Structure 1
Amino acid sequence: MEIVEVESAVRGDAHFVQVHTSDGRTGVGQSACWGYPDAVHAVVQTFRPYLLGADPDRIEHHWHHLYRMGPFRGSVLTAAVSAIDLALWDLLGKRLGVPVWQLLGGRVRDRIRLHLLLPGTGAQALAEQAAAAVADGFTAVKFDPLPAAYGDLSQARLVAETEATTAAVRDTVGPDVDLLIELHRKLTPLQAQAVVPALARHLPLLVEDPVQIDSVSSQAEVGRRAPGVPMANGERLHTIWEFKELLAQAGAQYVRPDVGLAGGLSHARKIAALAEAHHAAVVTHNCLGPLLTMASVQLDTVIPNFVTQEYSPLDDQLADGPARACVRREGGFLPVPQEPGLGVTLDLTDTRPLDLTGRPLTRIPLRADGSVAYAV
């Protein structure tokens, strides 16, 4: 058996791959570098001559070959490796007739807890969306409480409005629902020193990515300066080496690998093990539709330090889209999939462009003086 074709396709801000083998099977994958899908597509095309004729079962070998083909690194490369890696795991599961989680060591749980991404802004909208999520069965919600003009407010106003929005959600859902607070890398380290401690009295499960990802050390330092507030980092990190540095500097209690960016299941499994060795938990990042959700669930099912899986309203909206999952949400949980492979089908004959993020790259936050604010 060998790989006979590698398909790569861009659909709007989504990038998918299909790997076909000589026994008639197809494995599917997706990358998560949503800002530059055409660049990821180009890298996969560069991989194609190496993959054609190769044994699809040599997943770890192919990972290292593709990652080390050239002396260049970054999110575009690891996203392309991730998409291929997911497709190869999907193929192996299909060939053996088992879900991928069974190949990764077997399940340690019977269902996957979800936290719902709330798209609203402002205290009233977020409180209403949180109440609706709880009524629908979710036990955790995630939201961004920063005010719209965060780049231009005084420090005191920034802290007060962020804390008031968080309070509104906490007061609405009560103490039995976990709050995951997403700050979208919008703050400077000095702003984060004031904002993050102000959220502590609302007992969030975690506060995620207060500052930009340019420096692992800076991210870790923010965590060390906010005792009593669990920090989460990593949705934009790419490799076990970056996560190792973050964890070694005590910068995160929760790590957030994305299987479509951080090297697929092969690499994300290692990141989870690194976190476990540091007594850190895993909250997998995921916001790009059903295929990456199902891939993430394979990891969530087998690791002991998993806490909750990110779930986007897009997963419900795209249930009948080009990528279709074999399981559907049951309240605030997903059942562990039993279908062979990743448990998802992909129809690349559907050429409609997807809009998974709703954010053109040219639309970035600007301050009132015209300068570029810290962007998501």
Structure 2
Amino acid sequence: MRITEVESVVLGDAHFVTVHTDGGVVGAGQSACWGYPTAVHAVVESFRPYLLGADPARIEHHWHHLYRMGPFRGAVLSAAVSAIDLALWDIKGKALGVPVWQLLGGQVRDRIRLHLLLPGTGAEALTGQAAEAVADGFTAVKFDPLPTNYGDLSLARLVAETEATTAAVRDTVGNDVDLLIELHRKLTPLQAEAVIPALGRHHPLLVEDPIQIDSISSQAEVARRALGVPVANGERLHNIWEFKELLAQGGAQYVRPDIGLAGGLSHGRKIAALAEAYHCAVVTHNCLGPLLTMASVHLDASIPNFVVQEYSPLDDQLADGPVRACVRREGGFLPLPQEPGLGVTLDLADAAPLDLTGRPLTRIPLRADGSVAYAV
């Protein structure tokens, strides 16, 4: 079997690829560098001459060839490689007639636990959404408790308001539901030192991305200093080498690889193995719809140190759209897909542009004095 075409499509802030073969098997992939989808598209276009005529089964070889074609690195390149990698795994599963998780070592669990991403802001909105999530069967929820004007508050007010919102959600859901607290990289390291212990009083499963991702060593240091409060990092990291540095410096107790950014399934399983060696757990990141959710499920199903999969309301909203998964959510869990490949149907013909993030790239937080606050 040989690759006959590589199609790259940008739909709003979404980017998809399809890889076609002369055997009629087509693989689907998606990238997760949502800020720059047209840049990722351009990189995939540069991959085409190499991929045409190639054997799609040589996934690991193609990964390294594409990643090392030029002496440049970064999120855009890794996202492009990730999208192709997913499509090649999809092809291999379909060609062999098995779901991809079978090719990754087989299942270690029977279903995938989900945590629902709550989109609200403030205690009133979040408590209502959390109550609905629990009633719908979710055993874990994730939310951002920081006030909207976080960049202009005194430290005491920032801590007090953030903790009050977290306490309200905990009181709403009780002690049988895990809280995942998303800080969206909005704090400085010194602010994080004050905020994280206050949140720890409510026993979150994890506190995610408290500071900017500019420095891996700084992220690791914040995690080390958050004694007694589990910290998660990694949704913006690109490869196993970055995760290795984070873990080696005593960083995250939870790692958060995004399969559409951190090298696809080929590197996702390596990141999981690295984490396992450090007794760290995996909480796969995903907020961009059904294809990446399904790709993540195959990793989740096949690794021993998975804890819970991020699930966006988009997955339900887009269930009958241009990207359709072969399984549907059952309360707070996803059953393992049984169809060959990733278990995704991709139909982009006449599809309208998607708005997966709900945020124009130029709309970033500003402080009252006009300066740029730490952005999400």
Q: Same fold (TM over 0.5)?
A: yes
Structure 2 counterpart of 1:214: 214
The CA distance in 2 between the partners of 1:370 and 1:141, in whole Å, is 33
The CA distance in 2 between the partners of 1:14 and 1:99, in whole Å, is 24
Structure 1 counterpart of 2:201: 201
Contact 1:187–1:210 at 8 Å: present in 2 too?
Answer: yes
Q: What displacement does 1:224 show? A: 1.2
Structure 1 counterpart of 2:186: 186
Counterpart residue identity of residue 254, structure 2: Y
Counterpart residue identity of residue 20, structure 1: H
Structure 2 gaps of 5+ residues are none
Structure 2 counterpart of 1:116: 116
Counterpart residue identity of residue 235, structure 2: E
Structure 1 counterpart of 2:33: 33
Structure 2 counterpart of 1:319: 319
Is 1:307 the counterpart of 2:341? The answer is no
Structure 1 counterpart of 2:253: 253
Q: What displacement does 1:19 show? A: 0.2
Is 1:151 the counterpart of 2:139? The answer is no
Structure 2 counterpart of 1:294: 294
Counterpart residue identity of residue 111, structure 1: R
Contact 1:159–1:195 at 8 Å: present in 2 too?
Answer: yes
Provide Cα deviations, 1:106-127, integer angstroms capped at 9, x if missing partner: 0000000000000000011101
Contact 1:75–1:261 at 8 Å: present in 2 too?
Answer: yes
The CA distance in 2 between the partners of 1:62 and 1:148, in whole Å, is 44
1:151 is paired with a residue of what secondary structure?
helix
2:113 is paired with a residue of what secondary structure?
strand
Q: What displacement does 1:351 show? A: 2.9
Task: State percent identity of aligned pairs.
Answer: 86
Q: What displacement does 1:264 show? A: 0.2
Structure 1 counterpart of 2:277: 277
Counterpart residue identity of residue 279, structure 1: H
Contact 1:322–1:350 at 8 Å: present in 2 too?
Answer: no
Provide Cα deviations, 1:1-43, integer angstroms capped at 9, x if missing partner: 1000000000000000000000011000000000000000000
The CA distance in 2 between the partners of 1:149 and 1:298, in whole Å, is 39
Q: How does 1:324-363 map to 2 (within 5 A)?
A: 324-363=324-363
Structure 2 counterpart of 1:70: 70
Contact 1:117–1:311 at 8 Å: present in 2 too?
Answer: yes
Q: What displacement does 1:337 show? A: 0.4
Provide Cα deviations, 1:270-305, integer angstroms capped at 9, x if missing partner: 000000000000000000000000000000000000
1:195 is paired with a residue of what secondary structure?
helix
Aligned length: 376
Q: What displacement does 1:350 show? A: 3.0
The CA distance in 2 between the partners of 1:210 and 1:78, in whole Å, is 23
Contact 1:237–1:243 at 8 Å: present in 2 too?
Answer: yes
Q: What displacement does 1:344 show? A: 0.3
Counterpart residue identity of residue 367, structure 1: R
1:16 is paired with a residue of what secondary structure?
strand
2:85 is paired with a residue of what secondary structure?
helix
The CA distance in 2 between the partners of 1:98 and 1:343, in whole Å, is 10
The CA distance in 2 between the partners of 1:161 and 1:150, in whole Å, is 9
Structure 2 counterpart of 1:267: 267
2:32 is paired with a residue of what secondary structure?
coil
The CA distance in 2 between the partners of 1:357 and 1:16, in whole Å, is 15
Counterpart residue identity of residue 64, structure 1: H
Structure 1 counterpart of 2:128: 128
Q: What displacement does 1:225 show? A: 1.2
1:199 is paired with a residue of what secondary structure?
helix
Is 1:173 the counterpart of 2:146? The answer is no
The CA distance in 2 between the partners of 1:40 and 1:76, in whole Å, is 5
Contact 1:104–1:302 at 8 Å: present in 2 too?
Answer: yes
Counterpart residue identity of residue 220, structure 1: A
The CA distance in 1 between the partners of 2:153 and 2:343, in whole Å, is 47
Give TM-score scaled by structure 1 length. 1.00
* Moved beyond 2 Å, runs of 4+: none
1:202 is paired with a residue of what secondary structure?
coil
Counterpart residue identity of residue 105, structure 1: G
Is 1:88 the counterpart of 2:88? The answer is yes
Is 1:98 the counterpart of 2:98? The answer is yes
The CA distance in 1 between the partners of 2:39 and 2:96, in whole Å, is 33
Provide Cα deviations, 1:236-275, integer angstroms capped at 9, x if missing partner: 0001000000001111000000000000000010000000
Structure 2 counterpart of 1:140: 140
Provide Cα deviations, 1:48-101, integer angstroms capped at 9, x if missing partner: 000000000000000000000000000000000000000000000000000000
* Cα root mean square deviation, aligned: 0.4
Counterpart residue identity of residue 278, structure 1: Y
2:334 is paired with a residue of what secondary structure?
strand
Structure 2 counterpart of 1:223: 223
